[in-house]
């Protein structure tokens, strides 16, 4: 049933990192009850549930939280829950009557997770923003891109999902462990600006030591070094190399046909650009498939750069079972993996409100009470 079997999480529907955090908990066996609202999130409610991956493994109620009777339903849910996740701007849940104070009064053991970009306080707390804005303040966006070029947007992986959703999931589990021992719940303030900063820990240290330059494409791990980066092949595809260790670098030179030449010292940054140009010309002499035959599986630290239409066909990805497939639709399998409490195979997401009546009955509502909620407009 997964390592989080027996844990119940109430998710107040949002977009992006909040649902992703709840998905991670559901993947590990938690009973996640998503409370959807009229109009729904940006991607989930109108689409094919088979593709609504962030809502997989969850049950879904549809409630109008502007209705007092619907708010009371959520508070009754809270009484039986271990945690709650919400992703509104600071103060919105309080206006709905579902803020931490009221929820913790109903359930002192509750872990109340709050997902925002800027955090619950600070000058920007009430400002709108998106991933790109949050990572801008941390230096993460500044650091990504080619030499003499503008910053390159790294999808919304650093803010929304790595520094947001994963941070909140981690924070929830930490606080759940604390509540189990102490009997007291608490608020988890997960801000993407904080999470992105944590992800940049190594770069901050390297910058302050003088090892990392405050410029794009000038450092060992940002594409500046000729032995760590991406190269185009003859068929206009790409391969990646990460030959940092001297023995791996020596093997790279050997495979490139440069093993017998006297070349500048590997870490002498003055020669990185000229060496990059020379290596680039060599990589352009063969196709990606040909380079895979020469380098893949060796200690060069090599991999082809696969498109989204190729990843599920790679032999290592298939052997690992990194993706699961059903009815022609593939998605990532739950991760990480556990030897003693393996995660269950995720159940497909359901349409909004599919579980409203079933959950209400679990909470003790009879037919008359459910009908009253429907008549009052509390149920969507």
Catalytic residue positions, numbered = 130, 160
SS3 103: helix
Assign residue 71 a region: left if phi > 0, alpha if psi is -120 to 50, beta otherwise? Answer: alpha
Q: Are strands 58-62 and 329-332 parallel, antiparallel or unpaired?
A: unpaired
Please check whether residue 125 is in contact with residue 90, taking contact to mean a CB–CB distance below 8 angstroms.
yes
Outline where 230-320 has alpha helix (H). Answer: 246-256, 272-283, 288-295, 315-320
Q: Which residue shows structure tokens 């021992």?
A: 181
SS3 330: strand
Q: For the chain, how big is the Rg over CA atoms in Å?
A: 25
320: its two tokens: 């690992």
Q: Which of 305, 308, 304 is nearest to 323 (CA)?
A: 308
95: its two tokens: 């206006």
3-state secondary structure 298-321: CCCCEEECCCCCCHHHCHHHHHHC
Computed from CA positions of residues 243, 249, 251, 252, in that sequence, does the dihedral angle turn out positive or negative? Answer: positive
Please check whether residue 116 is in contact with residue 18, taking contact to mean a CB–CB distance below 8 angstroms.
no
Rounded CA gap, 139 and 352, in Å? 38
Q: Which H or E element spans position 85? A: strand 83-86
Say which residues have a Cβ less than 8 Å from residue 10's Cβ, sequence separation at least 6: 32, 33, 35, 74, 77, 78, 81, 83, 84, 85
* Beta-bridge mates of residue 33: 10, 59
Q: Are strands 31-36 and 58-62 parallel, antiparallel or unpaired?
A: parallel
Computed from CA positions of residues 330, 335, 339, 345, in that sequence, does the dihedral angle turn out positive or negative? Answer: negative
């Amino acid at each position: 049933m997964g390592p989080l079997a027996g844990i119940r999480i109430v998710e107040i529907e949002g977009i992006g990192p909040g649902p992703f955090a709840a998905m991670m908990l559901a993947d590990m066996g938690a009973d996640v009850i998503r409370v959807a609202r009229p109009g729904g999130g940006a991607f989930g409610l109108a689409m094919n549930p088979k593709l609504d991956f962030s809502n997989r493994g969850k049950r879904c109620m549809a409630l109008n939280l502007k209705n007092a009777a619907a708010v009371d339903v959520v508070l009754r849910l809270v009484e039986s829950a271990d945690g709650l996740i919400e992703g509104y701007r600071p103060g919105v849940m309080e206006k709905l009557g579902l803020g931490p104070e009221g929820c913790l009064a109903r359930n002192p053991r509750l872990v109340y997770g709050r997902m925002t970009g800027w955090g619950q306080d600070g000058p920007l707390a009430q400002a709108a923003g998106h991933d790109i804005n949050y990572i801008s303040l941390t230096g993460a966006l500044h650091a990504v891109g080619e030499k003499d070029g503008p910053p390159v947007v790294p999808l919304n992986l650093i803010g929304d999902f790595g520094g947001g959703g994963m941070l909140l999931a981690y924070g929830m589990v930490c606080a759940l462990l604390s509540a189990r021992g102490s009997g007291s719940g608490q608020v988890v303030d997960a801000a993407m600006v904080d999470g992105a900063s944590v992800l940049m820990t190594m770069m901050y240290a390297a910058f302050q030591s003088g090892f990392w330059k405050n410029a794009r494409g000038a450092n060992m791990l940002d594409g500046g070094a000729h032995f760590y980066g991406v190269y185009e092949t003859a068929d206009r595809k790409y391969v990646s190399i990460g030959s940092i260790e001297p023995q791996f670098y020596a093997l790279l030179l050997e495979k490139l046909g440069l093993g017998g030449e006297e070349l500048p010292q590997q870490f002498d940054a003055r020669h990185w650009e000229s060496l990059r140009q020379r290596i680039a010309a060599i990589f352009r002499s063969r196709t990606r498939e040909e380079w895979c035959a020469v380098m893949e599986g060796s200690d060069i630290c090599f991999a082809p750069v696969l498109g989204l239409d190729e990843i599920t066909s790679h032999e290592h990805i298939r052997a690992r079972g990194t993706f699961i497939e059903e009815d022609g639709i593939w998605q990532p399998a739950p991760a990480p993996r556990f030897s003693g409490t393996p995660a269950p195979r995720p159940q497909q997401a359901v349409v909004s409100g599919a579980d409203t009546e079933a959950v209400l009955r679990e909470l003790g509502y009879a037919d008359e009470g459910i009908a009253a909620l429907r008549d009052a407009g509390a149920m969507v």
